[in-house]
Structures are given as C-alpha cells and as structure tokens.
Amino acid sequence: MKIELTVNGEQREADVWEGESLLFALREKLGLPGSKNACEQGECGSCSVLLDGTLVCACLVLAAQADGHDVVTVEGLGATGEPHPVQEAFVEAGAVQCGFCTPGLVVATVDLLAHSPQPSEDEIREALSGNLCRCTGYAKIFDAVRLAAQ
C-alpha cells in the first residue's frame, strides 16, 4: 500500500507492506537509517521519533498508521554542519561511545527539554529510563542533558 506522510518537514511517499513498522519504512524505504533497531519490541528506545510531536517508538507504530501524519527523526534535528545543541552536548560530555543508542537518546532528550527545560536529576533518569545504553553507564548521558539544558 501507498502512504503519504511528512518526514522532517518534507512531504514523502512510500510503498509499504501492511505488516511493516514505521521504523522499517523510515530505514529501508525512506533512506533515513538514523533511527536504530535494537529490539523491535518497544524496550530499548533506539528507534525513538516524534510522531505529531509525541515521543514514540517507531518500531511499535505501523507504517500505515503514520499515513497522513507528521514524523520527526533524528536526521531532522540537525546535520553535521549544523548540529542541534543537544547533539553537541552529547559529544561534548562524552556521552557517545558506540553511539547506537545515541539517536534515540537525542530525540528523547529534545522531547524532555521541550517539556521541562531545567529537569531535575530524578526527572532526567525517569525520562530516559526507556532508552537502553550498553556502553556508557549513563553518567555522561546525564551530563549531556544538563549541559544541553544550560
């Protein structure tokens, strides 16, 4: 089936199979592999995107459900020449190791700071508890969020 959606401000079309997730469509049909697939079960947050401004796991949304909606992926937040402040903060704080969790965490952090510009320690932990990171032990990720909040 054909779907039409807005991705990172652009009108896009994709031909998808009914069973495909939004994550698969973004990664394999729309050329946007920034959202990662680490579990496909809503457990790791690597695939976090904003769907009509709400933080969701793209692996849990069917591509067909996104028909007619607005999606922002990590690619839509900033590019190498003009990184988003949250992206800069992650690098500055040393919050990136293998980086596989990073796109999801960047999207989740942008969402957190949009709702709570000066989050407390507990708020940060709770907001990011759906995003698994296996490399960093999270300490420098919390540093990055605090840095970005400044």
Binding positions for ligand FES, rule: CB under 6 A: 37-40, 42-47, 57, 59, 96-101, 133-136
Q: How far is the CB of 129 from ligand FES (least distance, A)?
A: 13
Which of 114, 133, 112 shows the shortest CA–CA distance to 123?
112
59 binds, among other proteins, ligand FES, none (CB under 5 to 8 A by kind): ligand FES
> Quick one: tokens of 61?
């949304």
The CB-of-71 to other proteins minimum distance in angstroms stands at 13
Q: How far is the CB of 103 from other proteins (least distance, A)?
A: 5
Query: What is the residue whose two structure tokens read 């997730």?
Result: 21
Q: Output 4 or 129, the one with its CB closest to ligand FES.
A: 129
For the beta carbon of residue 8, count every other beta carbon within 10 angstroms: 18
Nearer to ligand FES, 8 or 102 (CB): 102
> Half-sphere exposure of 59 toward its Cβ, with a 13 Å CA cutoff?
16
The H or E element spanning position 55 is strand 54-57
Q: How far is the CB of 31 from other proteins (least distance, A)?
A: 8
Longest dimension (CA), the chain: 45
Question: What, of ligand FES, other proteins, none, does residue 57 touch, CB below 5 to 8 Å by kind?
Answer: ligand FES
64 within 8 A of 1, measured Cβ to Cβ: yes
User: Could you list the residues that contact other proteins (CB under 8 A)?
Assistant: 17, 19, 27, 32-41, 43-44, 46, 73-75, 77-80, 83-84, 86-88, 90-92, 94, 96-103, 106, 122, 124-126, 128-142
How far apart, in whole angstroms, are the C-alpha atoms of residue 44 and residue 60?
A: 11
DSSP element (H, E) containing 90: helix 85-93
Q: Which partner in other proteins, ligand FES, none is near 21 (CB below 5 to 8 A by kind)?
A: none
